[in-house]
Chains A and B, each alone.
Chain A
Amino acid sequence: GAGVSQTPSNKVTEKGKYVELRCDPISGHTALYWYRQSLGQGPEFLIYFQGTGAADDSGLPNDRFFAVRPEGSVSTLKIQRTERGDSAVYLCASSSGGNEQFFGPGTRLTVL
């Protein structure tokens, strides 16, 4: 595709529910990153994929958060038992060789 796409653009859920956020990177980009951004702050790193494997998942806040990239392209961020504190914009970025990152428009998650 022309750029990084993310779906849905907005997600409203209730506390305790399970959500999945999808990221479709730029075609051919082997590196994929997930970030979380709260209002007025810079993006906070969550996880980095190189190909199909998670090369660095040190930013995942706890075991309720999990991400996959089974075929080395599309990635899904999964959040179990959502909490109000999980409300944020979730951003995905891709790059070629770990250099310049290109970001998607983000998914705004609201947990009621």
Chain B
Amino acid sequence: KQEVTQIPAALSVPEGENLVLNCSFTDSAIYNLQWFRQDPGKGLTSLLLIQSSQREQTSGRLNASLDKSSGRSTLYIAASQPGDSATYLCAVRTGQNFVFGPGTRLSVLP
């Protein structure tokens, strides 16, 4: 059974810092991995999707990497801003469905 963990559970940084969020999964037989952000009381917003054959994806200040063999993905956020404050979740597609991690709650302080 696929299990997904995220470290750290919470992170607080001053504005302008670069930061890394981690996602680990136990079964490397995945089709893809997707990173989301969730604002309080809202649904999930897709950030990046990495197919199993890819090593990384970039969108603006965000860069996500995937090391399938070791069961890890990282989300790198450059030059963080207060508007980046949210919970970040990763999800892996195994078979027909997706398994989510518990999320990392990020606070960027002005």
A residues with CB within 8 A of B: 4, 33, 35, 40-45, 48, 55-56, 58-59, 91, 93, 98-106
Interface size on B, residues (CB 8 A): 24
Known: A98-B93, A101-B46. A44 touches B31 (CB 8 A): no
Could you tell me the dominant secondary structure of chain A's interface residues?
A: loop
Residues B42 and A105 in contact, CB atoms below 8 Å apart: yes
Bound-state Cα–Cα, A33 to B4, Å: 19
B residues with CB within 8 A of A: 4, 31-32, 34, 36, 42-46, 49, 51, 89, 91, 93, 95-103
**9 closest A-B pairs by CB:** A42-B100, A56-B96, A103-B44, A103-B43, A105-B43, A100-B49, A45-B97, A42-B102, A43-B100
Residues A48 and B44 in contact, CB atoms below 8 Å apart: no
Q: Within 8 Å CB of A48, what residues of B?
A: 96-97
Residues A42 and B31 in contact, CB atoms below 8 Å apart: no
Bound-state Cα–Cα, A19 to B102, Å: 27
Residues B89 and A42 in contact, CB atoms below 8 Å apart: yes
Can you pick out 16 interface pairs between chain A and chain B where the beta carbons lie within 8 Å of each other?
A: A35-B100, A41-B103, A42-B4, A42-B89, A43-B89, A56-B95, A91-B43, A98-B93, A99-B32, A99-B49, A100-B49, A101-B44, A102-B46, A103-B36, A105-B42, A105-B43
